[in-house]
Structure 1
Amino acid sequence: MVAAMSDILTITLNPAYDVSTEVGTVTPGPKLRCAPPRFDPGGGGINVSRAISRLGGVSTAFVALGGQTGAMFHALLGTEDFDVATFEIYGNTRQSLAVIETSTRQQYRFQLPGPDWSPEQTAAMLDRLQPHLSRGRIVVMSGSLPPGVPADIASTVNRLAVEGGARLILDTSGAALIAAAANSGPPFALLRMDGAEAAEVSGRTFTSPAALADYGLDLIRSGAAEQLVMSMGAAGTVGVSANERFFCQPPRLEPHSAVGAGDSMVAAIALEFARGGDLNDAVRHGVAAAGSAVLTPATELCSKATADEILEQVVTRGI
């Protein structure tokens, strides 16, 4: 069964017009002649919506866009298979550049900042967003925040979602993740982070899935979130709720690019929840989708066929 169009909403406040290319060797000084570029609409929530489409689901993407790059971004969205609700901002949508050095196959990723938001623009965004936070919806807020937006904006969005009867999955980083871990409002339905982010937020060192699960349970008991999904990269992913804790391990894979793995994981998790799956089902599908994404080049996301193959090889154990 495919989730209905109204079942999943993604939120991207700081999208990026993604440019990806290749060059023989990255060296300072001389002009570097690159391969023909590829252009993609990027940013956490947008990538989640794109991945949901590739996994056979549907979603609506709420995205903040502005300026000439925003217009180019919006044009790229016309080729994607999901609905779009835009919020117009002042200034140009940011850009990002990913360059693969073909001599080493290393990837260099450059992220430019987006325009500053005023408090008035943030308030207008919340007014525009609120009607989309409807009952029964799975809402995914993913990616970085624009400069000027309060670090705890996700808690505000979550409160609006809870009031509207929706469930919010949050995948962010930096100050926004620190604020989310200290969330004292209604708990997020699910909070996703990786091991390095957990170490940064907590000040602890995690050497095992069990230690990571212990920290996840601390966040659940503090009221920050109802469920935690905590990635340990190629080793696997921890799932934690008040009633269960487990570790999902993918098969050994030969990665091509790490871009899109986290977004593909979140897409699969949201899709499983929209289809009525539980946390264990969602994390297993998330691990498989992330695994399929690392097998693709540059900014490519997951593949349903590959994810389905990997899913059969995911091993889940209690911790």
Structure 2
Amino acid sequence: MAAILTITLNPTVDLSISADHVLPERKLRCSRPETDPGGGGLNVSRAISALGGHSTAFVALGGPVGDKVMHLLSEQGIALSPFPAPGETRQSLTVTDSSTGEQYRFVMPGPEWRPADVSKVIDRIARAAPEEGIVVLSGSQPPGVPDDFPARLATRLARTQARFFLDTSGKALHELMHSGAKPADVLRMDDLEAEELAGRLLPERRDTADFAQALVNRGLAHSVIVARGADGNVLANAAGRWVAKAIPPAVVSKVGAGDSFVAGFTLARARGMTQPEALRWGSSAAAAAVMTPATGLCLPRDFKALLKGCALEEI
């Protein structure tokens, strides 16, 4: 199996609580908080572990909250490659209104990074990249990290023997379009991000597949994946286009679905599976994640059940 390195520059300690009703100007009596290490790359590592795989989490940590993240990861058996962050690691809060099921998510910004910190972390990631392995960059960027960071990292990793899987959004995704960076092996986004990037609606699977394949032809990545929510996940590369759809029996919380998809897809590829089969793994892991509350990720029993019924079609 190929080694996996996940990257998290802006980790967090996720606190999850619930209250009978969430109303303004009242003292709300809440449940005991559930505490998890969070941030895109860390969630990918945690989900890989839940699915029976192994990865190393390269994570920028600072201060007592950073120590808390290290402790939580150690409890979960996640291998760690720490990098000194330029300030205190952030915290985030998810509040669920028990009467409606609605979730309120409060996300802190994280410490400010300097240009020297950015250059240093790119070099450290390149040195830590596993030969013939996979490097996964997922999650938000902390303040001060430039929008072209994923493009710069893609170009730097192209000099190594590692494959680069990128899950990004917003300005960083737009910057990638015009950067001239070396292509990532896999680029993932959701349907809203794809429509924003395309500048038009993508109402049908074929529209999404056409757009994803256009990005491949443009040289952004060798493969592009677009999550279409309940309509499945579309993958396009130079050889073809596919959609995989796993249907969960119930949706409890959509938090962590994207990271679980990346975990399932990455683990399948690390084990030598084809991209279409990896798409089934990712789709089943994402569907399993929405069955868990708050910041919970995919559970193995749900994943295995969903994988059996996960449909794969060519577009």
Which of the five TM-score ranges fits, normalised by the shorter chain?
A: over 0.9
Q: Which residue of 2 aligns with 1:64?
A: 60
Per mean C-alpha deviation after superposition, the further-off stretch among 189-198 and 246-255 is 246-255
**Out of 65, 72, 76, which is 1:76 matched to?**
72
Deviates more, 1:59-68 or 1:154-163: 154-163
Query: Which of these residues, 164, 187, 191, is aligned with residue 191 of structure 1?
Result: 187
Residues 12, 272 of structure 1: alpha-carbon distance in 2 compared, 3 angstrom cutoff: same
Equivalent position to 2:118, from 86, 108, 122: 122
Shift of 1:177: 1.7
Residue of structure 2 equivalent to 1:158: 154
Equivalent residues of 2:8, 2:41 under 8 A apart? yes
Show structure 2 runs of 5+ residues with no match: none
Aligned pairs (5 A) from 1:26-41:
26-41=22-37
Match of 2:256 in 1: 260
Mean Cα deviation higher: 250-259 or 240-249: 250-259
Cα deviations across residues 4-46 of structure 1 (Å, max 9, x unaligned)?
A: 6xx1000001111100000111111112111100111000000
> Counterpart of 1:100 in 2: which secondary structure?
strand
Alignment match of 2:45 (pick from 46, 49, 62): 49
Q: Which AA in structure 1 matches 2:109? A: P
Q: 2: CA distance between counterparts of 1:90 and 1:312? A: 45
In structure 1, the partner of 2:241 is 245
- Paired with 2:170 and 2:102, the residues of 1 have a C-alpha distance of 25
Amino acid at match of 2:14: D
Q: Is residue 253–residue 291 contact of structure 1 (8 Å, CA) maintained in 2? A: no
- Does the 8 A contact of 1:97 with 1:110 survive in 2? yes
> How far did 1:183 drift?
4.2
CA gap of 1:183–1:288, structure 2 versus 1, over 3 A, is: farther
CA–CA separation in structure 1 for the residues paired with 2:271 and 2:278:
10
Match of 2:231 in 1: 235
TM-score (norm: length of structure 1): 0.96
2:224 maps to amino acid: L
Question: Distance in 2 between the 1:82 and 1:159 partners?
Answer: 28
2:92 is the counterpart of 1:91? no
Partner Cα distance (2:30, 2:169) in 1: 31
Deviations along 1:194-237, whole A, 9 cap, x unmatched? Answer: 10011122211110111011110111111001101111111211
Give the equivalent residue in structure 1 for 2:109.
Answer: 113
Once residues 89 and 317 of structure 1 are traced to their aligned partners in structure 2, the CA distance between those partners, rounded to angstroms, is 44
CA RMSD of aligned residues (A): 1.2
C-alpha distance in structure 1 between counterparts of 2:86 and 2:148, whole Å: 22
- Equivalent-residue separation in structure 1 for 2:243 and 2:91 (angstroms): 36
Residue of structure 1 equivalent to 2:137: 141
> What secondary structure sits across from 2:176 in the alignment?
helix
- Which AA in structure 2 matches 1:272? A
- Which residue of 2 is the match for residue 217 of structure 1? 213
Scaled by the length of structure 2, what TM-score is found? 0.97
